[in-house]
Chain A
Amino acid sequence: MKGYRYELILIGLLVCVLGLAGVLDPSFLKIEVQLELSREIWELALLALGMTLIIITGGIDLSVGSAMGICSVALGLAMHGGLPVPVCIVICLLTGVAAGSLNGVLVTKIKVHPLLVTLATYGMYRGFAEGLQGATTNAPVEALPDLKALFAGTFPLVPVLCVALAIAAGLVLSRTVAGRTIRAIGHNESAARFSGLAVDRLKFALYGATGFLAAVAALGYSARRSATAEAGMGLELDVITAVVVGGTSIYGGRGRILGTVLGVLLIHEARQFVDWHWQQAELTLIVIGSLLILSVLGHRLLFRVPGGR
């Protein structure tokens, strides 16, 4: 766990992207522009925190985007039904925790491979969100003014929450029994079990917590735009990309929150700049897809990590 070479490389890459931006289009680097563009980073960042910990345990959660969708629809229904804002928020959060917990139960109790569990719930949650929305409001629900003020108003609640959670996650991973357990599970789950570490409880908590983060992201999204089954569509790919670009091993065991933060920043800046400068959404996809493959390839070549699977 010594050495921050990979993180330094990520910072270098980030500087390169921003430098290129500075040369090609200096207006992109203006504070106002960056602040404006940063609105979309927080949902990605929130989900990436949970995803990092899950991937370090050797798992994966493909359902985070869909969980956001179902949380958003639940929020929309609650608002549509005229419930007060705090109740709406609680309903949204509970939906997220429930969605994450279902993943957790299936992974820990039924012991199905997380890739399969969350592939199934990926379709299921989005299907429920669409079905539920179709059967009730059949249209996005505009967020209530109070909710908008809270999550998309002048006080940056979501960013503050996100930074606090990132620091907390970093500390958990490096300083606590839970963090040690997370890494041990990722490297060798049965040895962790034989050492009396709380393997199942921890995994369950991680999936549940990621569901909670999806709900928070859904609150931010719904306040920014509207409560809809579309929320978080395709976001899981960005999240996984950011985590993996950040240096977390898809096989589990290795990974750091700092890397994920840098990965999120890199993906975000690359995407926003390509979009800003060339104004072609399809080009950003090509850039991000290539970045994902190249980052892992580069990591392999630079650090000679033995291949597996």
Chain B
Amino acid sequence: MRALAILIRNREAGLLLLIGILTLAASLVDPSFVAANWLDILINSVPALIIACGVMLVIVCGEIDISVGSLLGVLAAMLGLLCSTSAPGMGLHPWLGIAVVLAAGGVVGLCTGCLVVFGRVPSIIVTLGLLIALDGAQDWMIGGGDIKNFPSQLRWLGTGGRVPVDLCIAAGVVFATWIVCNRMAMGRRIYALGSNPASARLAGISEARTKLFAFTVTGLLTGLAAILWVAKFGNVSTSTGVGLELKVVTCVVVGGVAITGGRGRLAGVVLAVILITMIRTVLNFMDLGPEAVKWQRAIEGAMILLAVVTDHFGQRDGRAKGGLSG
């Protein structure tokens, strides 16, 4: 019982345990599972991991961003149009394309932030609107067929390196996010704002600057994820990025970040991304036939439910304690 309480209280421990159980189960079916798949699982986590770092900041400061999937699609399509060497691509130099896509991601994030901060439109509405509109924009940009044929320098980002390049970049992003969250004033201000917006304002924290930072970073990181996505798959279609926003929000919440803001750790989010990517891999690996993969969404849904329900019980314990001491 006590162990259970610890697992509920400590999200990271619980997630590690689940990852362990899943690995063990897969290894029992086929002992080669770990050797054959661990790198794939990490590499497949990359886009969600990078974006989750940004979305986590947004959720911690008390807002939400559900437009990242569509934004990734649009930015990937943009990169395709700029850099693909076959029509309708313009065949520009990859670095130029990368710069434009990163800038565009940042600008969209900044605009989202502006609508939330200055327009006082709730972030769920802004990003829901963006989700729908960007989805349309993506379809429009791509038109009929997929965009293919990307220059090899770009592809290297997603396929090259003895240690995969994209994995290194993702690790760098996670490290940088950790620094921001725990070792920089901006991170503490993001937490403060989510924890108690009114007193954050009284403490002289600029709500506008803090939230704009979180949204802009999310946009930038979505741009980065789009670049790595294109580099890895060498292909952009109308389905690129579809549903990714839900996966990312799921990961952030399963990772223990409170949807009401102010609380949550990066380590939990990273573990949650790995766990959820792993479920997908295990389902594929077990080779239960094409039907089994269709249950994947059901399992992911059950996961998030489990996560929020345990979170709820963990919190209730904490609250009861607070009541006694207060």
A–B direct contact (CB < 8 Å): yes
Enumerate chain A interface residues (CB-CB to B < 8 A).
106, 110-113, 115-117, 119-128, 130-131, 133-135, 138, 237, 240-241, 244, 250-251, 280-293, 296-297, 300, 307-309
Of the candidates B121, B138, B291, B304, which one forms a contact with A123 in the assembled complex, judged by CB atoms under 8 Å apart? B304
- Residues of A within 8 Å of B246, CB to CB, are 119, 122-123
B70 to A: closest C-beta gap in Å: 9
- Residues of A within 8 Å of B294, CB to CB, are 127, 130-131, 133-134
CA A262 – CA B214 in complex, angstroms? 35
Q: Mark B99-141, 1 if CB is under 8 A from A, else 0.
A: 0000000000000000100011111111011111111111110
B145 contacts the other chain (CB 8 A): no
A77 to B: closest C-beta gap in Å: 15
CA A35 – CA B256 in complex, angstroms? 49
Enumerate chain B interface residues (CB-CB to A < 8 A).
62-63, 115, 119-126, 128-140, 246, 249-250, 253, 259-260, 290-291, 294-305, 308-309, 312
8 contacts between A and B (CB under 8 A): A123-B304, A124-B300, A128-B295, A128-B298, A131-B295, A289-B130, A289-B132, A289-B136
Nearest 10 CB-CB pairings of A with B = A289-B133, A285-B136, A127-B298, A124-B301, A127-B297, A307-B120, A123-B301, A289-B132, A282-B139, A293-B129
B142 to A: closest C-beta gap in Å: 9
Q: Are B139 and A296 in contact (CB under 8 A)?
A: no
B274 to A: closest C-beta gap in Å: 18
Q: Are B295 and A283 in contact (CB under 8 A)?
A: no
Q: Are B131 and A237 in contact (CB under 8 A)?
A: yes
Residue of B nearest to A70 (CB): B298
A60 to B: closest C-beta gap in Å: 8
A248 to B: closest C-beta gap in Å: 11
CA A120 – CA B308 in complex, angstroms? 9
- Residues of A within 8 Å of B304, CB to CB, are 116, 119-120, 123
- Residues of B within 8 Å of A125, CB to CB, are 301
Q: Are A293 and B115 in contact (CB under 8 A)?
A: yes
- Residues of B within 8 Å of A300, CB to CB, are 119-121
B33 to A: closest C-beta gap in Å: 23
Q: Are B302 and A124 in contact (CB under 8 A)?
A: yes
CA A113 – CA B307 in complex, angstroms? 12
Instruction: Evaluate whether A131 and B298 lie within 8 angstroms (CB atoms) in the complex, with A110-B309, A280-B140 already known.
Output: yes
Q: Are B301 and A117 in contact (CB under 8 A)?
A: no
Q: Are B298 and A285 in contact (CB under 8 A)?
A: no
- Residues of B within 8 Å of A119, CB to CB, are 246, 249-250, 253, 304
Q: Are A121 and B125 in contact (CB under 8 A)?
A: no
B171 to A: closest C-beta gap in Å: 28
Q: Are A134 and B63 in contact (CB under 8 A)?
A: no
- Most B Cβ at <10 Å: residue of A117, A282, A307: A282
Q: Are B305 and A117 in contact (CB under 8 A)?
A: yes
- Residues of B within 8 Å of A117, CB to CB, are 305, 308
Q: Are A292 and B125 in contact (CB under 8 A)?
A: yes
Residue of A nearest to B124 (CB): A250
Known pairs A120-B302, A307-B120 / 16 extra A-B pairs, C-beta < 8 Å: A110-B309, A119-B304, A120-B250, A120-B308, A123-B298, A123-B301, A124-B302, A127-B298, A127-B301, A250-B125, A285-B136, A289-B131, A293-B115, A296-B122, A297-B121, A300-B121
Q: Are B312 and A297 in contact (CB under 8 A)?
A: no
B132 to A: closest C-beta gap in Å: 4
Of the candidates A244, A284, A308, which one forms a contact with B136 in the assembled complex, judged by CB atoms under 8 Å apart? A284
Q: Are A110 and B312 in contact (CB under 8 A)?
A: yes
CA A119 – CA B135 in complex, angstroms? 19
- Residues of A within 8 Å of B124, CB to CB, are 115, 250
CA A290 – CA B294 in complex, angstroms? 33
Q: Are B299 and A297 in contact (CB under 8 A)?
A: no
Q: Are B290 and A134 in contact (CB under 8 A)?
A: yes
Instruction: Evaluate whether A282 and B122 lie within 8 angstroms (CB atoms) in the complex, with A124-B302, A127-B296, A127-B298 already known.
Output: no
Q: Are A286 and B291 in contact (CB under 8 A)?
A: no
CA A121 – CA B301 in complex, angstroms? 6
CA A297 – CA B301 in complex, angstroms? 32
Instruction: Evaluate whether A286 and B137 lie within 8 angstroms (CB atoms) in the complex, with A112-B308, A120-B305, A241-B132 already known.
Output: yes
Q: Are B62 and A309 in contact (CB under 8 A)?
A: yes
A297 to B: closest C-beta gap in Å: 5
Of the candidates B132, B138, B259, which one forms a contact with A237 in the assembled complex, judged by CB atoms under 8 Å apart? B132
- Residues of B within 8 Å of A308, CB to CB, are 122
Residue of B nearest to A289 (CB): B133
CA A308 – CA B260 in complex, angstroms? 13
- Residues of A within 8 Å of B125, CB to CB, are 244, 250, 292-293, 296
Q: Are A292 and B128 in contact (CB under 8 A)?
A: yes
Residue of B nearest to A126 (CB): B297
Q: Are A134 and B291 in contact (CB under 8 A)?
A: yes
Residue of B nearest to A300 (CB): B120
Residue of A nearest to B258 (CB): A113
- Residues of B within 8 Å of A281, CB to CB, are 136, 139
- Residues of A within 8 Å of B129, CB to CB, are 241, 289-293
